[in-house]
């Protein structure tokens, strides 16, 4: 079992890096997609990502129950790409706008249980797991409480996953920088 966390900003090349790593694995590839096509712009983005992938790759939609999907799809001879954890977290934060200022996301039972399930499930999985996530802590402090809650939860999740991962890679301008583990042999 191998877990790699691939972090980067918007349009950094993190998804492309994950795809390159999956191709290099020579394993059967399944993409676990977390995006929901809630508007035409997001639907177009999803179609573009799908068109860029090799036809032999399977895609499984998992906007919420990520741990259960990973447990069902993981296999010794398979490489799973989760693209992306940031959208998954966004999906789980639905309802957070009703939290009182300063409340932690643990007040959202679904987010708490799904996050705990993911962290407990990942170390048990066979095969290769490539986790794609945005690094959101390099910018300005968001103006609104929900934005700050999102930034804080994304940062906490990335830190927890980085501890579990064998390799952590930061991608900027399409260039991977290894933060933990063996450097990637492909670009």
12 annotated as ligand-binding: yes
184 annotated as ligand-binding: no
Centroid of chain to Cα 32: 9
9 annotated as ligand-binding: yes
152 annotated as ligand-binding: no
20 annotated as ligand-binding: no
Q: Quick one: which of 52, 56, 58, 12 has its CA closest to 33?
A: 58
33 annotated as ligand-binding: yes
113 annotated as ligand-binding: no
3-state secondary structure of 131: strand
174 annotated as ligand-binding: no
What does the radius of gyration of the chain's CA atoms come to, in whole angstroms? 16
Q: Quick one: which of 16, 26, 35, 5 has its CA closest to 135?
A: 5
Query: What is the rounded distance in angstroms from the CA atom of residue 115 to the CA atom of residue 14?
Result: 22
Q: Is 144 a known active-site residue? A: no
Q: Quickly tell me which residue has 């804080």 as its tokens.
A: 152
Per annotation, catalytic residue among 17, 49, 64, 144: 49
Active-site residue list? 49
Binding residue numbers for GTP: 8-15, 33-35, 61, 83
Binding residue numbers: 8-15, 33-35, 61, 83
């Amino acid at each position: 079992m191998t877990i790699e966390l691939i972090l980067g900003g918007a349009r950094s090349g993190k998804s492309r890096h994950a795809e390159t790593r999956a191709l290099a694995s020579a394993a059967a590839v399944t993409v676990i997609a977390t995006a929901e096509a809630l508007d035409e712009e997001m639907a177009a983005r999803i179609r573009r990502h799908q068109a860029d992938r090799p036809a032999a790759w399977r895609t499984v939609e998992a906007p919420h129950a990520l741990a259960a999907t990973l447990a069902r799809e993981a296999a010794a001879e398979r490489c799973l790409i989760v693209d992306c954890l940031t959208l998954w977290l966004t999906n789980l934060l639905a309802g957070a706008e009703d939290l009182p200022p300063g409340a932690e996301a643990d007040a959202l039972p679904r987010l708490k249980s799904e996050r705990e399930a993911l962290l407990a499930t990942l170390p048990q999985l066979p095969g290769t797991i490539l986790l794609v996530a945005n690094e959101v802590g390099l910018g300005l402090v968001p103006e609104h409480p929900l934005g700050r809650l999102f930034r804080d939860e994304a940062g906490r999740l990335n830190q927890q996953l980085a501890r579990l991962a064998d390799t952590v890679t930061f991608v900027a301008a399409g260039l991977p920088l290894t933060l933990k583990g063996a450097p990637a042999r492909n670009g």
